[in-house]
Structure 1
Amino acid sequence: MTTVDANILKTIPSRVDASKTLGLIKTGNVGPQHLQAIKNITAFNDEKISDWLDISVKTYRLYKKPHSIIKARIKEHAIMALSLIKHGIEVFGSSENFLEWLQKENFFFDKKAPIDFMDTNSGIKFIDDRLTALAYGDNA
């Protein structure tokens, strides 16, 4: 993780929180650097991340360029994803361990991988709730 990515994560809520996410979006400080941070921290390809954001790969790549105008719903989804990633790193101790868990089939996700739920805000919230449960001793 780069210093820029670490600094971005410092500004992100540690849990998925609608009011804090909205506050960040309304400050106008959410931009291409947040989309790039998702890619840098997760090392997932553009196709996977654009699927999460429900946009084309071309649009995702355009949004990562400096001075891009990003739609509010994409900013919201990006902040929520970063909050989830930050929470996952806190629970699992490293991005590698969290990303491994995120990609494994899980009983609580109807025997699907949690990552399959990243394409909606409610899915991200559901994953975040499972992370909270894990942090308090619930099974993986």
Structure 2
Amino acid sequence: MKKYAPSKAHSDIVNEPIAAYGYQNFDDAGLFRLMDIAKHGISFKIFDNITKKFPFTMQEWADFLHISAKTLSRYQKEEKSFDTLQSEKILQIEILYKRGEEVFGSADGFLIWLQTENMALGRTKPQDLLGSSFGISLLMDELTRIEHGILA
């Protein structure tokens, strides 16, 4: 089986500020590009670049992706790409990061929010919701409320 190497367009969309216009504002072409990237799989190299933005351990990333830390380590050693569902989750977390950076004005502000217990989220740390697509959607909604000054 031929190993998938993302085209320049695929790697650029992960590296460019893909959420600069907000998650809901992707046009159809942008969403289809993201779906195509996920379908072909995010390489471990791209994943590793994304993980460097966050203070999470590899065990936490494994939990978010619903795989074992051993499997994640094997992906790294074998330079494997993630499957479609894992790739979608990685992209969703990257989009959330970009949106959070936009709303808080800095990555640091967003990361502090992500790790701080939140009353609006039932005293849950936002990072605890990253293992679920529904959780990520809830966080995107919360970022929109923060942006518009609706804090409770």
TM-score range, shorter chain: 0.7 to 0.9
Q: Out of 11, 16, 38, which is 1:10 matched to?
A: 16
Q: Report the CA distance between 1:13 and its aligned residue.
A: 3.4
**Do the aligned residues in 2 keep the contact of 1:105 with 1:113 (CA within 8 Å)?**
yes
Identical positions, percent: 27
Letter of the aligned partner of 1:135 in structure 2?
E
**Do the aligned residues in 2 keep the contact of 1:81 with 1:118 (CA within 8 Å)?**
yes
Deviates most, 77-86 or 47-56: 47-56
Q: Does 1:91 align with 2:103?
A: yes
Q: Report the CA distance between 1:48 and its aligned residue.
A: 1.2
**Match of 1:3?**
none
Q: Does 1:53 align with 2:59?
A: no
**Match of 1:80?**
92
Letter of the aligned partner of 1:26 in structure 2?
D
1:125-140 to structure 2, matched below 5 A, reads 125-139=137-151
Deviates most, 10-19 or 47-56: 10-19
SS at match of 1:42: coil
**Match of 2:33?**
23
| CA deviation profile, 1:102-128 (whole Å, cap 9, x unmatched) | 111111111111111110011001101
**Match of 1:107?**
119
> Given the two structures, how large is their TM-score scaled by the length of structure 1?
0.81
- RMSD (Å) for aligned C-alpha atoms: 2.7
**Do the aligned residues in 2 keep the contact of 1:16 with 1:83 (CA within 8 Å)?**
yes
Q: Residues 22 and 61 from structure 1, CA distance in 2 versus in 1: closer, same or farther, beyond 3 angstroms?
A: farther
Unpaired runs of 5+ in structure 2?
1-11
Q: Residues 22 and 76 from structure 1, CA distance in 2 versus in 1: closer, same or farther, beyond 3 angstroms?
A: farther
Q: Residues 82 and 32 from structure 1, CA distance in 2 versus in 1: closer, same or farther, beyond 3 angstroms?
A: same
Unpaired runs of 5+ in structure 1?
1-5
| CA deviation profile, 1:2-56 (whole Å, cap 9, x unmatched) | xxxx983416334445965553241437322332123200132101111111111
Deviates most, 92-101 or 72-81: 92-101
| CA deviation profile, 1:37-87 (whole Å, cap 9, x unmatched) | 232001321011111111111222333457413211000000000000111
**Larger Cα-atom Rg:** 2
**Do the aligned residues in 2 keep the contact of 1:35 with 1:63 (CA within 8 Å)?**
no
